[in-house]
Amino acid sequence: MNLLLISNSTNAGEAYLQYPIQQIASFLKGIKEVVFVPYAAVTFSYDEYEAKVQHRFDEIGIKVRSIHRSKNPRRDILQAEAICVGGGNTFALTKKMQEQGLMSAILRKVKADTPYVGWSAGSNVTCPTICTTNDMPIVQPESFKAIGAVKFQINPHYLDANPEGHAGETREQRILEYIEANPRRWVVGLREGCMLHLHDGKLELIGKRPMRIFKKGMKPFEVQSGDDLSFLIQQKC
């Protein structure tokens, strides 16, 4: 499989997709067109989302064709040269993808080495489930089941912060709840400005910040860019 899974689209003070665009360009080298899944958009239209992504992809000479215009979305996924899934609300994205049969179609494609780029919600849906998203369940999908292209769970936009005066759970506490209920599953806290690249059977962390790793029975620990992450892709669960 050939996946580029990005934590966030936009770093503070930067333009949309500015920080990952050169990594995306390298990842999609030789690709002329991507099929784009815009269904995580909620407060703006799919047309606007397509235009927003196209504006940035113009810089790297790649055409963006949104699946929402298709009469047969599943067929277009199966014929795609590359697939791109944008961020937004993970529940809205999952519901629409399940309704159109896109989860299984994308899994089939990525297993055949079709390049896949996702950010935020688009990274969440490559996991076995969407249970480690940060998003509010504004709609009800058929299930929490996602594409399952990777065997671990991703928590994008991972934060260590516990704001002064905040008495609620931290992000880490929420993930610890998840692994307590799902003891076989690894979770990675992918901080902003970072991404995961899965290629040639190797998983690589890209970015200046470490990634936090969670597994029931283990104390959470940090990994850095260049560290061996094979334990995340060789697991059998």
- DSSP letters, 171-225, are HHHHHHHHHHH-TT--EEEE-TT-EEEEETTEEEEESSS-EEEE-TTS--EEE-T
For 164-193, b/e burial (b = at least 16 CB within 10 A) is: eeeeeeebbeebbebbeebeebbbbbbbbb
Tally of CA atoms within 13 A in the half-sphere of 118 that contains its CB? 28
Q: According to CATH, what is the number of the domain 3-152+192-208+220-233?
A: 3.40.50.880
**pLDDT tens track of the chain, all 237 residues?**
999 999 999 998 999 999 999 999 999 999 999 999 999 999 999 999 999 999 999 999 999 999 999 999 999 999 999 999 999 999 999 999 999 999 999 999 999 999 999 999 999 999 999 999 999 999 999 999 999 999 999 999 998 876 666 666 789 999 999 999 999 999 999 999 999 999 988 999 999 999 999 999 999 999 999 999 999 988 654
Q: What is the pLDDT of residue 235?
A: 64
Catalytic residue set: 120, 135, 157
Determine the residue type at 185: R
DSSP 108: H
Rounded Cα distance between 72 and 90, Å, is 22
Determine the residue type at 176: L
Q: Which two tokens stand for residue 73?
A: 């979305």
Relative orientation angle of helices 90-99 and 102-111, to the nearest 10 degrees:
90
Q: What is the pLDDT of residue 160?
A: 81
**Residues ≥6 apart with Cβ < 8 Å to 207:** 7, 191, 193, 194, 195, 225
